Structure 1
Amino acid sequence: MTVQASLAGNGRELTIKIDGRFDFSAHQEFRDAYEGVSSQVNCYTVDMGGTSYLDSSALGMLLLLRDHAGGDSADVTIVNCNQDVRKILTISNFEQLFKIQ
């Protein structure tokens, strides 16, 4: 499981790429990916193209990111989900909290 964060050239967009299993073992690495970044960031993208598994603790971590990004006014997009991950997000009604592409 790896978490990689990259900041766009303008300093306002952060992409967090998650590869492998997204579960509690990724908690600290995932938080570190966005907490230490400039306060200028106003757009977050979570790339799950390499994510093979998602559990309830991962859903909680996504909610923590949303709170960090501004709660109801947050601009957080989840992209490149495989069918299984997308199903979990849909069952959890996350499409009401995040943009899912």
Structure 2
Amino acid sequence: MPIQADLTESGQLLTIKVSGRFDFSSHQVFREAYERAGLSPRRYCIDLQDTDYIDSSALGMLLLLRDHAGGDVADIRIQHASPEVRKVLSISNFEQLFTIE
């Protein structure tokens, strides 16, 4: 499965793991991963360890998640991005909007 979402037992952290291509074809599944009914974590982790491609649609999806999570006060960490994916995030100045680890 290209997108997996796991909520901690405490309900405080939602980890979304994206595998393969992160593009427009992932839009619906990615959105459903964080909009499930009753879901209100305080922190989000986007794990891109197995992501080999990211495009502008994916960047837009990350921005929609940020808005959903509270905008400027959202605690969203993007982790394990490959050098190629990190370059796209950097060019887009996402370091100013997300914590990239």
Residue 78, structure 1, aligned to residue 78, structure 2 = yes
- The RMSD of aligned alpha carbons is 1.0
Structure 2 residue aligned with 1:23: 23
Deviation of the 1:38 alpha carbon: 3.1
- Unaligned runs of 5+ residues in structure 1 are none
Residue 14, structure 1, aligned to residue 14, structure 2 = yes
Structure 1 residue aligned with 2:64: 64
- Structure 2 distance, partners of 1:85, 1:66, is 18
- Structure 2 distance, partners of 1:35, 1:92, is 25
- Structure 2 distance, partners of 1:40, 1:90, is 28
Measured against aligned partners, the alpha-carbon deviations of 1:51-89 in whole angstroms (never above 9, x if no partner) come to: 000000000000000000000000000000000000000
Opposite residue 83 of structure 2, the aligned amino acid is Q
- Unaligned runs of 5+ residues in structure 2 are none
Secondary structure, counterpart of 2:4 in structure 1: strand
Residue 48, structure 1, aligned to residue 42, structure 2 = no
- Structure 1 distance, partners of 2:39, 2:2, is 24
Q: What is the number of equivalent residue pairs in this alignment?
A: 101
Which sits farther off after the overlay, 63-72 or 37-46? 37-46
TM, length-normalised to structure 2: 0.96
What percentage of aligned pairs have identical amino acids?
59
Structure 2 residue aligned with 1:38: 38
TM, length-normalised to structure 1: 0.96
